[in-house]
Amino acid sequence: MHNTISTRHQNLYLEDVALDDIANQFGTPCFVYSKDAIRQNFMAYKEALGDQDHLICYAVKSNSNLAVLQTLADLGAGFDIVSGGELERVLLAGGDASKIVFSGVAKTATDMRRALQVGIHCFNVESETELALLNATAAEQDKVAAVSVRVNPDVDAKTHPYISTGLKENKFGIDINLAPEIYQRAAQMDNISVVGVDCHIGSQITEIKPFIDAMDRLLVLVSELESMGIRLNHIDIGGGLGVRYQNEDTPTVADYMAELLPRLEGRHESLVMEPGRSITANAGVLLMEVQTIKSNGLNNFAIVDAAMNDMLRPALYQAWMDIQPIKHNSSAQEATYDVVGPVCETGDFLGKGRPLAIAEGDRLCLFSAGAYGFVMSSNYNSRPRAPEVMVDGDKTYLIRARETITDLVRGEQLLPTGS
């Protein structure tokens, strides 16, 4: 983030635009993304992969705004989707269907039909039931479905339990020890073509070792499959690296690839990756305004106009996200604040115990808000969802308008009178 956020004249700027100007123009709360940061973060993967045959599939779930997807599609990105809705978003944004991998534990026959129709790269299959359904659905359409089996390597990613996805007890994937027989069954199905192996051990991983452990386990499986006569085209190592929210010591993509790529040397399989957070998290911020400052004798509260419905991460994952004033306020005394929202829940906080020199009416910036921010937002308490803005150099583009009350009640119906 910090390569695109700067302080000029004691004001925060994103690229070449003052955040205060954005707040004036579009109101608060408001999500703002840097096009250049998205580009730089994606290119870090592309450059680190060098000559290695690869496909970088951006994880759409982290930020699915059409302009964000368009920015990545223009850079040649593939896409990792987990729903029929995400598939349609990628297509609307100009994404290449042949670079889409379809993950997720509960794909429906309708999802599968549409994905087969547009010709996606492959399905990351997560159960035997799904494999059978996909085979039958492909047969109906007289198509062959390309499949990668998502195996569970039982690697502890040492991340928050809600976003750790590669342990035996998680709902994802197939036990790596049972995988060979599943592959054998898949290889015998008429409308299935086995093309790869996939794993995903979790999100916000800030060490390289768990990824390397997972890759080593995948390579053992790949060799075993080869001895059974099943030759794969690709190995999908899953999500990207974690990002720095506070003071995490995060490796660079180049560090990661320096350890991973030697393991693939001389192999024919291409490498597939599904980074999301590491591309968008630090490319975005959430702007908000202090409505009220109050104290209960124990705590000082800065009550802002953004809430858990806009940014769920602190409430859901106890996530720490940096909060700073957009403009320096020389007349305000520094105090320690809990930054909280207007939603009627004690869990509605964005940050606790933050030293801030602020007054009512000041605007704050919540950093690293570009991933799992807007996409997880809701209309709880009948709050319209915030607008999204893209900054490109000194230009700003409204890429999603603030919702209106009409948007909120669209599709709802009063009962007939007198009933």
Look at residues 237, 239, 169 and name the one whose alpha carbon lies nearest to residue 202. Answer: 239
Three-state DSSP at 132 gives: helix
The rounded distance, in Å, linking the Cα atoms of 273 and 278 is 12
To which H or E segment does residue 79 belong? strand 78-81
- Please identify which of the residues 30, 122, 344, 365 carries the catalytic annotation: 344
Contact 365, 323 (CB under 8 A): yes
Told to judge if 57 belongs to the known catalytic residues of this protein, a careful annotator would answer no
Q: Which H, E and C letters describe 133-166, residue by residue?
A: HHHHHHHHCCCCEEEEEEEECCCCCCCCHHHECC
Look at residues 388, 404, 403 and name the one whose alpha carbon lies nearest to residue 70. Answer: 388
Alpha helices per DSSP H over 127-252:
128-140, 179-187, 209-227
Residue 29 preceded by cis peptide, ω within 30:
yes
CA–CA distances in Å: residue 389 to residues 26, 146, 284, 395: 8, 37, 9, 10
The rounded distance, in Å, linking the Cα atoms of 417 and 419 is 6
Three-state DSSP at 207 gives: coil
Q: Characterise 3 by phi-psi region: left (phi > 0), alpha (psi -120 to 50), beta (else).
A: alpha
The rounded distance, in Å, linking the Cα atoms of 302 and 286 is 16
Instruction: Kindly report the backbone phi and psi dihedral angles of residue 297, in degrees, each rounded to the nearest multiple of 5, phi listed first.
Output: 90, -30
Contact 155, 210 (CB under 8 A): yes
Instruction: Kindly report the backbone phi and psi dihedral angles of residue 257, in degrees, each rounded to the nearest multiple of 5, phi listed first.
Output: -65, -30
The rounded distance, in Å, linking the Cα atoms of 199 and 273 is 10
Instruction: Kindly report the backbone phi and psi dihedral angles of residue 73, in degrees, each rounded to the nearest multiple of 5, phi listed first.
Output: -60, -40
Question: 84-92 and 66-74 helices cross at what angle (nearest 10)?
Answer: 60
Q: Write out the catalytic residue numbers.
A: 344
